[in-house]
Homo-oligomer: A and B are copies of this chain.
């Protein structure tokens, strides 16, 4: 079997996701479509049912930073204050479960929801800290190696398909598209990964990849 995030899978739904099932609305988004925009009022919480999503922040001069990539079962928009600090866009056609923040209040009372929200925010913070570490002190090669390792690990299956293009990888890693491409070629040359196409690969030498990911 190939491919990780098949359209109708919502693996290991979080407790929050199951709470959210009771309220809210399923909405389809087309590939490339904006789910919410930077600096908009943040009154919704989004749970990904199928497809993949990126969060991005754009500077006035066009420089772009990708916050993270999200897959089925992930929640986005949680951690926000009054305004969204990133925008979210569909990487592929996807279905999003949308819940008004205010309607979460009806579930409040025993404090378990609060703790669940906190937990989710905490995990988001951990991921962001890991991302930070990578941007601050890793070389281009280490960045790309860690990225491929992380994606492959998350998928947990032999053949991995990348839902994002090279530009998205570059904007996530703080590199240019050319450098990402070169590092991928290099990793392939060392027989550490094997790309069937630009968005389809498998790890052939895990220990070497781990070592390079530093």
The interface of chain A, by Cβ under 8 A from chain B, is 57, 59, 61, 63-65, 67, 79-81, 85-86, 108-109, 111, 114-115, 117-118, 121-122, 124-126, 128-129, 131-133, 135-137, 171, 173-174, 214
Tell me if A114 and B118 are in contact (CB < 8 A).
yes
- Please pick, from B64, B65, B81, B129, the residue contacting A122 in the complex, using a CB distance under 8 A: B81
Residues of chain B with a CB closer than 8 A to A85's CB: 126, 129
Residues of chain B with a CB closer than 8 A to A132's CB: 65, 67, 128, 131-132, 135
Tell me if A125 and B65 are in contact (CB < 8 A).
no
Copy number in this complex?
A: 2
Tell me if A67 and B122 are in contact (CB < 8 A).
no
Residues of chain B with a CB closer than 8 A to A214's CB: 59, 61
Known: A81-B126, A118-B121, A128-B129. 13 other contacts (CB 8 A): A61-B214, A65-B137, A79-B126, A111-B111, A111-B114, A114-B114, A118-B118, A131-B132, A132-B132, A132-B135, A135-B135, A135-B136, A135-B174
Residues of chain B with a CB closer than 8 A to A111's CB: 108-109, 111, 114
Q: A116 CB to closest chain B CB, in angstroms?
A: 10
CA distance A115 to B57 in the complex (A): 27
CA distance A174 to B132 in the complex (A): 10
Residues of chain B with a CB closer than 8 A to A173's CB: 136
Residues of chain B with a CB closer than 8 A to A129's CB: 67, 85-86, 128
What 4 A-B pairs are tightest by C-beta distance, nearest first?
A114-B114, A136-B174, A135-B135, A118-B118
CA distance A79 to B121 in the complex (A): 9
Tell me if A133 and B79 are in contact (CB < 8 A).
no
9 A-B interface contacts by CB (under 8 A): A63-B137, A64-B137, A79-B122, A79-B125, A114-B115, A118-B121, A125-B128, A128-B128, A136-B174
- The residue in A65, A136, A137 that gathers the most chain B C-beta atoms within 10 A of its C-beta is A136
Residues of chain B with a CB closer than 8 A to A108's CB: 111
Q: A113 CB to closest chain B CB, in angstroms?
A: 9
Residues of chain B with a CB closer than 8 A to A122's CB: 79-81, 121
